[in-house]
Structure 1
Amino acid sequence: MNKSLTRIARGATRREALVVGATLAGSTLLVGCSVPEVLSAGSKVKPGAFGPFLKFAADGTVTVVSKHIEFGQGNHAGLAAIAAEELDADWSKVKVEQAPANAKLYGNVNMGGTQGTGGSSAINNSWTQLRTAGAAARAMFVSAAAAKWGVPASEVTVSNGVIAHASGKQAGFGELIEEAAKVAPPEKPVLKNPKAFTLIGTDRVRRKDSQAKSDGTARYTQDVRLPDMLTAVVAHPPRFGAKVDTFDAAAAKKVAGVVDVFEIETGVAVVAQSTHAALKGREALKVTWDESKAETRGSAQLLQQYRDLASGKTAAPEKNGWKAFDSKGDAARAAEGSNAVELAFDFPYLAHAAMEPMNCVAMVGKGPPKLIFGSQTPTLDQMNTAREILNLPGAVEIETLFAGGSFGRRSNFQSDYVVECVRIAKKVGKGRPVKLVWTREDDTRAGYFRPLTHHAVRVTTDAEGFPATWRHRIVTQSIMKGAPPGAPTAEIDFTAVEGSMGSPYLKATPIVDAQLITPDVGVPVLWWRSVGATHTAHVMEHTIDILARKAGKDPVEYRRALYQKAGANRHLAVLNLAAEKAGWTTPAPAGWTRGVAVHECFGSVVAQVAEVKLENGSPKVGRVVTAIDCGTAIAPDQIAAQMEGGTCYGLSAALFGEITLTNGKVDQGNFDTYRVLRNSEAPTVETYIVPSSAPPTGVGEPGTPVIGPAVANALLAIDGQPRLSQPFVRA
């Protein structure tokens, strides 16, 4: 065993030492160990008598332990409702508590067993798990009551938190905790027939965190105050890939409150007794940068290179060349034929622009390592922290707080800002708490971004005007390229093609030739709310409207015909519902024009009809009618809220969102240069849910990608001009 592992192994079992050795090496393949076991090595978290998801108090309060972070999407209410429904709890006495970090207990079944929130998977991956937890606990209380009262368990009922028998005996959960805790939970508890649900699917399922977030008692990272805590900021290089060459800290150290200034891998850290002092110290800091390996290309230059690759003007490299993601029929014929529709689409880099910039509190060097912040993927944050401090992943305690948005930014393979905080805390040492603060400018300029993307589409049509051949080329950076060793990989980066690959339009087309290339660029990229659908939805839906206009067909009728060809019944259902509720066959209000779009992502299908008009040459969006098929609707009110928020987020990007680089430097810094949708510009969003008894699917992201093409299609109807790039409005 090498010296570093000898240090790690003190106080650890041999098995744990081997586990962390493999983890530090980037491997997750150990004989006899599951991935969650590897990633939870060293954890002291233990489940209670009722399992890892439920706790009961003497006053009758039921606490549902959520393995998913709450960063504005409202999933805590839906998760609690799933368990409370099977438990037959009193909803007014149900609370939610954030789970500790432990992949073995709280792994996301949609993320390979790692603990994390993303891909609109919180409700979907917890559906059976929480139903089972609630039903098992209910059975335990019923058995305890039956034994105590000397009656058959079949005669004991539970309703609204009250356990009762026809003899008049009754008790609350709090009165039977000790007895119930001794009952062995059933291996396969009986779940309710969905027809018997009394909570799920009702408007009673409202957020549990509204009061705390309204009165200021909700705790975020910026609220953390600990004894002897220091605050840190980092001077990052202006170009990605640059490193510190030299720095002069003399002036920075003279700033009142500055405690230390030192170099870390990502820049120069300024540590102080307050945020103000740290920022002033950074302003006084003088740094020269080694840019020998920095990305110096601008976004316009990169985009031209993408276009040249897609058009064939530039040959693809032998390594990392074109890869087919959809192919059908004689693919060579997709490049043939006259009277084709040829379209080239461009999409810029986008910032996540969460209301709360990145931040973290870390304690390293004395006692167990601990992180306090809004952790979106605790397992990755544990693993990357363990690698930095040479410890067991599960030994890294994470207290997950509320976070003010993420949209994907708080979760990345490198745990970038988390590791940055850990490195600073490690340098400070002695377990002294360090809070790392990123300003809005740090957050905007330091990455990560939605990738710059180019699509080239060529479609020929048959005698009826429907696609006969479809040639598609996508050029974009790979998000999955940064995956750690041992992570599942595929030849095609699904995040780059989702929404095009498997599209009902391609299924309805006899000949398809669709390929992807992912050039290497030094700009850090990441999933951004709805990921690949952020660009593929626009390309597919706007292309279809252009084809419908060429064929002289109504866009809704044109889609109906294609969905019937493809057997896309869910698409057809949401389209019909949205068209009906929007009054598609009736004239739009005076001065307004309607556009339609339909897209599937994260298991849900969304259709939107947007009413749009041009004011001084710029689009104004008024009413947006949304129909969604998301399986079983847990919390209809929250689904509507997510459709509203997702629509506004997507509209903000479609109208204004754009990160540009000049000679490798990001041009934007704050909301004065990175324009976002204002409250006064938000449309009225109506949401209609397709009834379904299928398991729930995602709602956090599917509302985001549809609004852009719906607006583009309305604008196409106004002036006949395709919108082949976003944003639609440029400064």
Structure 2
Amino acid sequence: MLPVSFDSNDLPRALQRLMANAADAPAALPRRSFLKMAGIGGLVLGAFPHLANAQAQAQAQPAAALKPTQQPSAFVQIAANGEVTVTINRLEFGQGVQTGLPMILAEELDADWSLVRSRSGTNDAAYHDPLFGMHLTGGSNSIKNSFTQYRELGARARAMLLSAAARRWNADVATLRTEAGQVIAPDGRRLGYGELAEAAMALPVPETVRLKNPQEFRIIGQPTTRLDARAKSSGRQDFGIDMRLPGQLTAVVAHPPVFGARLSSVDDSAARAIKGVKAVLRVPLDGGAEGVAVVADGYWPAKLGRDALQLQWDTSRVEKVDSERQLAEYRQLARQPGARKFDADMSALDKAPQQLEAEFVFPYLAHVPMEPLNCTVRLSADRAEIWVGTQSAGLDAAAAARTLGLPPEKVLLQVQMAGGGFGRRFVGSSDYVVEACEIAKAARAAGLDAPVRLLWSREDDVKGGYYRPMHLHRARIGFDESGKVLAWDHTIVGQSILTGTVFESFQVKNGIDASATEGMRDPYPLPMRLTVHHPKLNVPVLWWRSVGSTHTAFVMETLLDEIARRTAQDPVAYRMALFGDQHPRHRAALQLAVDRSGYGRKQLAEGSAWGVAVHESFESVVAYVVEATLKEGQPVLQRITAGVHCNLAVNPRSVEAQVQGAAVMGMSMCLPGAAITLKDGVVEQSNFGDFTVARITDMPDIGVHIVPSAEPPTGMGEPGLPPLAPAFANAVARLTGQPQRELPFKRA
């Protein structure tokens, strides 16, 4: 990675001249010259990923030119000592891509895994998601969408290293092989990758390469300790919040109590008198709101300055959402005609031998990642550098350029390690990045020529909006004595999270946000009529880990379980019968969880019960079999057994960790107090004292088991969450005889 205080004078002189020439005529940059120069001074491959576009433009055969996302130079750096540094095109915020993606590339490169390192990318086009064509970490797409991409990158680099060795030895390249970071000749001669890198990267990049058969894998599929494990476990890992630049100042912002409110008056005299406070700035905020930024030489004086502000807010022009009133309005809306997602015949509903009616309520949820939101901006007269843990570097860089009035190419965004996110670091409005840029711009105008780091407190984060939307579901189901569903009439009411985003054009059809209905009906062959309402309210909403499946899985899996109970059927057997022979991955995941849990064979202690649920999201299937009990009237999870079908598990250890974390997050949805509520437009919660998350004392025993597969991997960051809450709820229903219709569970 380039030094934080990047100065072109730090570079080799030959490379300085090359960059100067490239600035004058970027399209004329000779591809071989660039690759050769990039090897000077031990920088080797990939030292300057922001020049990947120039390399791509200068391909020898323009008609068949490789895209920036296919260029090894942007992704692989091989040092003289053989160390291989792999640049990842995603945000690492706990899901393990800084290990998984290097594993994929190193497999095809035949690298020595002990010498593999990783680093984060930038807003360069090379780091676009190869499928979506934009910078994106989300939707559990990282490994899934970049699996072939990173394999090909590794294979291309390996082919170039082989060619370089063949030239040095004057040998037939077909006679050479690679192993653990070395090229090996038939007579036993060896050359390390570090010895060959400079020459290799001066060679043409092959457009087509042979990829390994999965049977040849020696890195992919092996349980592997994460590359960042030691740094994180020892407290030495730097995150975006840890940015330190010479002369850096810190800013905190007084946000309005009601979303979108503006200032009536500001008395900042007491704030300005606090030692360390450098400026108090009135700045525009997300959604047309206003706020006051206090800029100081550290977080604490900035916070004290904010506490000392005397502010009057004008809330007369904005809606003041109230949770109780909102629920009543949702109930009324659910009774009205709306847009239809499914439209099966409902004529059998009223005549069905058995009927079931249910209403479900799901509250707003905050993301509350361990690391609160932050962004550091260094602004000069004609350019900006930004350091932030972002799920969409390009989107945020473009928003920064607009805010700062700079051409996009004058904004360099360095992606930082993030301490969690769960969707909150990918916002269509780039709210906190724009906020940081507004502050940096105002600070510079006030004479502060220094980098500014914006920090949100935990309270800012909890009250700061962009929640998982509140939803109401209403279902009427008719079924017979065998449990066959004859008609299922269903209504969903909740805000759209995709309207107004880059995904609206292909994810919002006929007025229905696809993320609100994902997980409904399938994989079960049910005659369903599904009606959807998307009211607009003054509460910013966003995807939250596993998105629509956070509520649809709960509804589907608890209702099916209730039908099984009413018709005296085993819940596992009932689901297996519904799957038939159409859903082998669901069957395999559920059967694995059943087998490993001892369900149906093991005798549970008195006062304990089994709970079962299975759900597919992001193309992966997770089944849970849980054991639960009641303690002083409150549900307690004792044990969780997961069966996972994610096709090929690149790093089984990461899959296990993701399911464990998702299960705990799913359990948090059930705990009393896990809700964001509003009163007269003001969010009532502010920190972990009044917004519940699972603690270590809530942690049950968790066993994670993966169905073996050699098929291309599917997503795993999110699929472990949706089925946990319904499995828990189903166990509680068996203990109490009462189905759970709300999340979080009501207190006893």
TM-score (norm 1): 0.90
Shift of 1:45: 9.9
Q: Does 1:107 align with 2:124?
A: no
Q: CA deviation at 1:218?
A: 1.6
In structure 2, what residue type is equivalent to 1:439?
A: S
> Is 1:246 the equivalent of 2:265?
yes
**Map of 1:552-631 to 2, 5 A cutoff?**
552-564=568-580, 567-591=582-606, 592-631=608-647
Q: CA deviation at 1:147?
A: 2.1
Partner of 1:725: 742
Q: Is the 8 A contact 2:353 2:480 kept in 1?
A: no
- What corresponds to 1:209 in structure 2? 228
Q: Note if 1:477 corresponds to 2:495.
A: yes
SS at match of 2:508: coil
User: Could you tell me which residue of structure 2 aligns to residue 468 of structure 1?
Assistant: 486
Q: What amino acid maps onto 2:185 in structure 1?
A: H
Matches within 5 A, 1:451-600: 451-483=469-501, 488-491=506-509, 492-500=512-520, 503-505=522-524, 508-509=525-526, 511-564=527-580, 567-591=582-606, 592-600=608-616
Aligned residue for 2:147?
127
Q: Aligned runs of 1:220-619 on 2, under 5 Å?
A: 220-266=239-285, 267-310=291-334, 312=335, 315=336, 322-328=338-344, 330-331=345-346, 333-334=348-349, 337=352, 339-429=354-444, 432-483=450-501, 488-491=506-509, 492-500=512-520, 503-505=522-524, 508-509=525-526, 511-564=527-580, 567-591=582-606, 592-619=608-635
Partners of 2:449 and 2:210 lie apart in 1 by: 48
Deviations 1:351-404 (A, max 9, x none): 101111111111224342111121221011011111111222343111111111
Structure 1 stretches lacking a partner, 5+ long: 1-10, 17-39, 317-321
> Measured at CA, do residues 42 and 57 of structure 1 come closer, stay the same or move farther in structure 2, by a change above 3 Å?
closer
**Structure 1 CA distance for aligned equivalents of residues 551 and 540 of structure 2:** 18
Indicate whether 1:676 and 2:690 are aligned: no
Cα RMSD for the two superposed structures? 2.3
Cα deviations across residues 189-218 of structure 1 (Å, max 9, x unaligned)?
000001111111112x22001122233332
**Quick check: 1:371–1:397 contact (8 Å CA) kept in 2?**
yes
Aligned-pair CA distance for 1:182: 2.4
8 A contact 1:334–1:513 mirrored in 2: no
For 2:677, the aligned partner's letter is T
Give 1:44 deviation, angstroms. Answer: 8.6
User: What is the one-letter code of the residue matched to 2:168?
Assistant: K
1:689 maps to 2:706: yes
Go from structure 1 to structure 2 and tell me whether the alpha carbon gap of 1:586 and 1:597 turns closer, same or farther (over 3 Å shift).
same
Contact 1:358–1:443 (CA<8 Å) still a contact in 2? yes
Decide whether aligned partners of structure 1 residues 503 and 484 sit closer, same or farther in structure 2, where only a CA change above 3 A counts.
Answer: closer
Letter of the structure 2 residue corresponding to residue 242 of structure 1: A
CA distance in 1, matches of 2:349, 2:403: 51
- How far apart, CA to CA, are the structure 2 residues paired with 1:583 and 1:162? 48
Distance 1:201 1:173, change over 3 A: same
Return 586-595 or 628-637, whichever deviates more.
Answer: 586-595
Pairs aligned (count): 681
Equivalent residue for 1:66?
88
Distance 1:335 1:127, change over 3 A: farther
Match of 1:27 in 2: none
Q: 1:156·1:165 contact (CA, 8 Å) conserved in 2? A: yes
Q: Aligned letter for 1:279?
A: K
| 1:41–1:393 CA contact under 8 A, matched in 2 | no
| Larger RCO: 1 or 2 (CA < 8 Å, sep 6+) | 1
Match of 1:31 in 2: none
Q: Counterpart of 1:471 in structure 2: which amino acid?
A: D
**CA deviation string 1:675-725 (max 9, x = no partner):** 111112111111111111211111111111111000000011112100000
Residue 158 of structure 1 pairs with residue 178 of structure 2: yes
CA apart distance, 1:332:
5.5
2:728 maps to 711
Report sequence identity in percent.
42
One-letter identity of the residue aligned with 1:366: A
Q: Does the C-alpha gap of structure 1 residues 43 and 221 become closer, same or farther in structure 2, counting only changes over 3 Å?
A: farther
- Retained in 2: the 8 A contact 1:41–1:395? no
Shift of residue 117, structure 1, vs aligned partner: 0.7
Give me the whole-angstrom Cα distance separating, in 2, the residues matched to 1:576 and 1:649.
24
1:148-167 Cα deviation digits (max 9, x unpaired): 21222121111111210121
For 2:735 and 2:54, the matched residues in 1 are separated by 62
Following TM superposition, the consecutive aligned residue runs of length 4 or more in structure 1 with deviations greater than 6 angstroms are 11-16, 40-49
- How far residue 129 of structure 1 moved from its aligned partner, in angstroms, is 0.3
* Aligned AA (1:226): L
CA gap 1:658/1:392 in 2 versus in 1, 3 angstroms: same
- The 8 Å contact of residues 72 and 154 in structure 2, kept in 1 or not, is answered as no
User: 1:64: how far off?
Assistant: 0.9
> Structure 1 residues 173 and 298 mapped into 2: Cα distance closer, same or farther (>3 Å)?
same
* d(CA) in 2 for partners of 1:416, 1:44: 31
Q: Contact 1:49 / 1:181 at 8 angstroms: preserved in 2?
A: no
> How much does 1:462 deviate?
3.2
Taking the aligned partners of 2:628 and 2:552, their CA distance within structure 1 comes to 22
Q: Which whole-Å deviations, capped at 9, do the CAs of 1:219-240 have from their partners, x for residues lacking one?
A: 1223222222211111111111
Measured after TM superposition, the shift of residue 282 of structure 1 is: 0.9
**Contact 2:348/2:478 (8 A) holds in 1:** no
CA distance in 2, matches of 1:56, 1:69: 22
1:440 to 1:43, Cα distance in 2 relative to 1, 3 A: farther
Q: What is the aligned partner in structure 2 of residue 8 from structure 1? A: none
**Does the CA-based 8 Å contact 1:595-1:611 persist in structure 2?**
yes
Q: Per the alignment, in what secondary structure is the counterpart of residue 543 of structure 1?
A: helix
Report the equivalent of 1:170: 190
Match for residue 147 of structure 1 among 139, 144, 167: 167
Note if contact 2:348-2:487 (Cα within 8 Å) is conserved in structure 1. Answer: yes
